[in-house]
């Protein structure tokens, strides 16, 4: 069955293990590593008071940190607000 939500997707990561999830010329992130790193970050978010329905802006370039941050936020039920890291200050201020 195809996962329909991010939590459902994360639940499948055990079966994919060391297979690549995200690959660039400079980075390689496996399903297992993404799962482990996002779980750690999710616990940190919860410790800081970020939880279900909290809106959190992600202002990161495409990369493994973006993927891990997005998974961490969605696994705790927070809303990831995706902002352009190349936006100028007035654009970011307007979006926020």
Res 1: pLDDT: 65
* Beta strand pairing call for 55-58 and 79-82: parallel
pLDDT at position 3 is 66
Report the distance separating Cα 29 and Cα 19, nearest Å.
Answer: 9
pLDDT at 96 > cutoff 80 = yes
Torsional class of 68: left (φ above 0), alpha (ψ -120 to 50), beta (otherwise): alpha
For 19-70, how does the pLDDT look when each residue is reduced to its tens digit (9 = 90+)? 999 998 999 999 989 999 999 999 999 999 999 999 999 999 989 999 999 9
pLDDT > 90? residue 15: no
Tell if the pTM clears 0.95, that is, is over it: no
């Amino acid at each position: 069955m195809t996962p329909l939500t991010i939590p459902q997707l994360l639940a499948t990561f055990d079966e994919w293990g060391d297979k690549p999830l995200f690959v660039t010329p400079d980075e390689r992130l496996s399903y297992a590593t993404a799962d482990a790193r996002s779980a750690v970050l999710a616990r940190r978010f919860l410790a800081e008071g970020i939880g279900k329905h909290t809106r959190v802006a992600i202002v990161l370039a495409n990369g493994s940190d973006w993927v891990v941050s997005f998974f961490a936020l969605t696994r705790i039920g927070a809303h990831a607000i995706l902002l352009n890291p190349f936006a100028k200050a007035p654009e970011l201020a307007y979006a926020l």
